[in-house]
Structure 1
Amino acid sequence: MKKTKVLFAGHDLKFARIIMDNLASKPTYEIRTDEWTGHNTHDEEKSNECLNWADVIVCEWGLGNAVWYSQNKKPHQRLFVRMHLQERDTMYPFSFNLDNIDKIIAISPYVYEEFYRVFRFPREKMTMIYNVVDTGHLNKPKVEDAQYHLGIIGICPQRKRLDLAVDMLEKLWQEDNRYKLYVKGKMPQEYPWVWNKDEERAYYEEIFARIDNAPWKDAVIFEGFGDVSEWLSKVGIILSTSDFESFHLSPSEGMASGAYPIILNWDGSDTIYPKDYLFSTIEESVNRILTINESEPTEDSQNKLKSYIITNFGLEKIVDEWDRLLNTGFHSTVN
């Protein structure tokens, strides 16, 4: 059987990795990557080698990679561009050769509509496939008292709003000092592009000083970057406090582990998550957490959370959609 040669190209392939690995495990695909060093910087010789090899090209992010491949794609090849949200605020999509792009893939209905609104891509060129969540990897037993442990994954840049997570902890801790906030991910000092901006640095210095001077300072536990599956076993409440997101995997990963999601209603969150998990204020969020913990979490309630993620963003479902897309070059668009 002749394998379809699929190339994934882009500067950041972390969100595509699980899709790539799963496709590579199938007998019908051979996978390669062209990893760019930046939004518009790459080894052009390597990219040309990859271009000559591929049957299908998937540009992960619609940045300089999608411009280059759309301008150099060969007639017999198919090209897909998967876009998140960051691209909306760049000029790269205006330079796409749309004639050479088979489909532009958005990761949520809101993102789909935003890209149509801003760039007026032809709808017949657009489709929507959600991000994928490896539910099996995240399904681990919870530790004792996990229901009192809030978790936030990723606090950089400022728009992730660590301050709002801290606001929640403070109010909860005053009610019950068993509450803790676990923070997963790199610190702002580890990102020069964050720490070298005066406004960003001032924000983090203020929030860290607030924590250090609080009676609940020991209830905020910072843990480094890395695999989240073990970390989530001690988290019973997963937070999404951002000003805006394209999809935000954190609530999905938390739900897949059985953690209850508290999502501060950013634009488009209602196209991904049920309204029961969306909140407008800190007070609403805190009251829901207190209400949940008035009764012991049950296995049924955790299974409901896990089932939602498996049904909507599970590996089998999403990879099947990619498989159909790569095999036919067509996928039903969002109405």
Structure 2
Amino acid sequence: MTNVLIVASVPPPQPAILTDALERFKAKGASVSVACFANVEDMSVDPALAEVRGFAVAPEAITGRLRDALRRAPQNRRMWLHARRDGWLRRRAAEADVLVALDARAVHTVWELAQRNTRASACHGLVPALKEFDARRTPTPGTVLERQVAATASIGARGARRLAVRAAKTTLKKATGQKVVANPAGAWLWTRAVSAPRIPDGLRSRLTLRVYGSAVRAGRPATAARASAAAIGRIKDPQTRADLLTKQAQTELGLGRVPAGLHDAITAQLDLADLRLRKRDPKKAAFALSNAFSLASNRVLHFDRLSSPLTDDPAGYLAPFRDSVAAKKLAEPRGRATPAAPIPTDRPMRLLLTTLINDNFLREIRERYEAMPNVEVRFLDLDDDPAGRVLARSGSSVFEHILSGRSAYGDKIEQWLRPHLDWADTVFIDWCQATAALFTLHDPGTARIIVRLHSFEAFNFWPHLVDFSRVDDVVFVSDHLRDLSTAVLPQLTGEAAPRLWVVDNAMDLQRYPRPKPAEARFNLGLVGVGSVAKDPRWAIEVLRRLRRHDERYQLLLIGSDLNARTSAAAKQYANQLQRDLDELEPSGAVQRRGQTDDVPGALTEVGVILSSSVRESFHCGLVEGAASGAVPIVRDWPFFAGKPHGARTLFPADWVVADPDEAAERILAATATEESWRETGRAASEHALKTWDWSITQHDFDRLLLDGPA
């Protein structure tokens, strides 16, 4: 009996053709096996005609060396890397007389199998396979020997080549390792090697990146800088130069550090974007521009450390973008054909509330206006639309659309959002991220566009993709956030800029005042500790100072633990925090209460509420704690300290402290007696309720939403 093995990368597009061929093979007395690298159910093959085996591989099953090999391998070889590991397929291939590749992606795998089974014929396609089956004759011994020698030589040569390449890579890895580069002689050698003449740019870039990475990991930043500068001076291709500088910066960011060459990397990508734009290649220009913004807004720089270069010097940090033609094109106003229409008087106003995933700050707003007879409310979360979800997360496509002026992506956005714009009188967009960029990608017609910007976005690239000439009003929750945003986005200033509002967050604070037991006087509370920006270690320093006076003081951490998975910088902070907790938790000085759905209930145990953050736009958790009757202690948020607006202008002066020592002094004074503690907490609660409760702030939202455009 003649054995036939058919290999397919995907189920055939026309199953009837495969079925017809299998019936013909069976009629000729062949035994057929089919291996498909997909789910076997998708093959639709009668088991009476062939034995079918599927090889769908779950992503979680791909680990270790196979994962690395698959990442490096060309597309046509990846299927073979899976196939060679399967015993069933190897046995069927060894027994086969005819090997058949059903599609182009299976050809390499069949060729590899044929190199190991020299008796078998190898074909691409069913028609050639049937012809080969009919014409097949037993080959002469000489022919068999010739094919075996050729196949063995081929396999041996490829194996030797892979072995040699692997050995060379291992040698190079060791020669450019941390120990070698950290040695002055090794540093001298490799600095000159990467700057040697007549080395191709690609090879020079890869070698430099290896030396650079070893140097920064070895704690030799000066060596890394010298090697980089020496190599960059030799690289002629702008793309290679930008890629090298970017990868070097990403290496340091991956280690949780601020790259010394960050400015150079950003500038190189912007120069590349300008070059591509001059050559009328908006796609590549958008890619380079996106790379520049991704570097500049990397979370290690602004979120997973206790400082940010953006708030330290906004103008200096963003100077490369101000000088870039491509970046300036993003900010060019495209305008609207007609201004927003007045509020209608003959029907309810149509209000569209929209966001992407996060609607945490919309609950009170939504409930209030849904209850009004003169307002018709719709809510749109872009993430709820499976098709639109992908569009909403494609920042690079937005870059390309703006640079080119027209794109298929832009047409899809128009088709998706135009019905909402046509329906709405007012669109309230919460978070100045993808939603704001997409709603201003096209002329909004007569709809009034309102965007609320929270602090997170000021450090992100999305606001730079928003056409503020199509926005009527921008809302901030604090003056210091407005100041930072206008420094970052010049489009928010000038005659053509939208109106700027400062409107407090919508918070129902009436549910927070509850009786507190006497022992709560000694409990410090911190609500929300999931990010580095909350800086819970500052709160721990306050606790240490208090416990030197009285060991009854405790710190309650309310909320999820700090997320250490976001970056190496976050992990470094988390490790330091864990050492603090290991010291203080066993005695009960620090207690982690975890996530809760009953924050008012949890706050009944808190006598002093802390804001230990390095930055906040408002800090709802602090205000909720104050409303509960806890004594508020607010760190003068370092990101905004010393500026015209910040924690000291947002809160009463006696709430804000400069450092842990001042915090401890205020707490000791306020909690000296139960009477003084309760009186101080009562005053704080009254101030919070009179200033920030929804019964007060809802009138600001009415003026914003119901008074109509200017």
Q: TM-score, normalised by structure 2?
A: 0.44
TM-fit CA distance, 1:215: 7.3
1:64-107, Cα deviation, whole Å (9 max, x unpaired)? 21111123453221110001122222232233222321101111
Tell me by how many angstroms 1:41 deviates. 2.5
- Unmatched 5+ stretches in structure 2: 1-345, 384-388, 395-411, 641-645
Matches of 1:224 and 1:7, distance apart in 2: 35
| 2:463 partner letter | P
Using the alignment, how far apart are the partners of 1:13 and 1:158 within structure 2? 23
Q: Are residues 1:19 and 2:19 paired? A: no
Shift in alpha-carbon separation, 1:215–1:300, aligned structure 2, 3 A: closer
Query: Are the counterparts in 1 of residues 527 and 622 from structure 2 also a CA contact under 8 Å?
Result: no
Q: Which fold has the larger relative contact order, with Cα–Cα distance below 8 Å and residues 6 or more apart in sequence?
A: 1
CA-based RMSD of the aligned residues comes to 2.5
Question: Is residue 659 of structure 2 the alignment partner of residue 281 of structure 1?
Answer: yes
Alpha-carbon deviation of 1:27?
2.6
Matched with 2:623 is 252
Output the CA distance in 2 between the equivalents of 1:197 and 1:300.
43
C-alpha separation in 2, matches of 1:31 and 1:91: 30
Q: Verify: 1:323 aligned to 2:699, yes or no.
A: no
Deviation at 1:134, TM superposition (A): 1.3
Counterpart amino acid of residue 254 in structure 1: G
After superposition, the C-alpha distances for 1:131-178 in whole angstroms (9 at most, x for unaligned) are: 133121112111231111111011122121111111122222232222
Please tell me whether the aligned partners of residues 450 and 472 of structure 2 are also in contact (alpha carbons under 8 angstroms): yes
Counterpart residue identity of residue 165, structure 1 = A
| Amino acid in the other structure paired with 1:278 | V
Task: In structure 2, give the amino acid aligned to 1:129.
Answer: V
Partner residue, 1:3: 348
Per-residue deviation, 1:311: 2.5
Q: Does 1:308 align with 2:678?
A: no
Q: CA deviation at 1:219?
A: 2.5
More helix by share: 2
Deviation at 1:216, TM superposition (A): 5.9
Aligned to 1:108: 478
CA distance in 2, matches of 1:208, 1:260: 27
Deviations 1:194-219 (A, max 9, x none): 42422212321332232223376422
Q: 1:330 to 1:78 in 2, by over 3 A?
A: closer
Q: Are 2:439 and 1:69 aligned? A: yes
Q: Map of 1:89-104 to 2, 5 A cutoff?
A: 89-104=459-474
Aligned positions of 1:117-128 closer than 5 A: 117-120=487-490, 121-122=492-493, 125-128=499-502
SS at match of 2:548: helix
Tell me by how many angstroms 1:53 deviates.
Answer: 3.4
Deviations 1:211-270 (A, max 9, x none): 223376422221222331111111110111111111111221111111111111012112
8 A contact 2:608–2:630 mirrored in 1: yes
Do the aligned residues in 2 keep the contact of 1:23 with 1:319 (CA within 8 Å)? no
CA contact (8 A) 2:428 2:451 kept: yes
Local SS of the residue matching 2:380: strand
Contact 2:510 2:689 in 1 (8 A): no
Residue among 37, 41, 45 paired with 2:393: 41
Structure 1 residue 52 displacement after superposition:
4.1
Q: 1:30 aligns with which of 354, 376, 379?
A: 376
Structure 2 vs 1, CA of residues 227 and 21 (structure 1 numbering), >3 Å: closer, same or farther? farther
**Greater gyration radius:** 2
Amino acid at match of 1:6: L
Counterparts of 1:178 and 1:15 in 2: how far apart (Å)? 36
Instruction: Check 1:312–1:214 CA distance in 2 against 1; reply closer, same or farther (3 A cut).
Output: closer
Change over 3 Å in CA distance of 1:19–1:242 after alignment to 2: same
CA separation of 1:49 and 1:173: change in aligned 2, threshold 3 A: farther
2:546 to 147, 150, 172: 172
Q: Percent identity?
A: 24
SS of 1:138 mapped into structure 2: coil
What code does the residue aligned with 2:465 have? S
Per mean C-alpha deviation after superposition, the further-off stretch among 287-296 and 121-130 is: 121-130
Partner in structure 2 of residue 207 of structure 1 = 577
- Give 2:504's aligned amino acid: Y
Residue identity opposite 1:2 in structure 2? R
Letter of the structure 1 residue corresponding to residue 604 of structure 2: S
Partner of 2:602: 231
Q: Distance in 2 between matches of 1:214 and 1:327?
A: 52
Matched, 1:270 2:641: no
TM-score, structure 1 normalization: 0.89
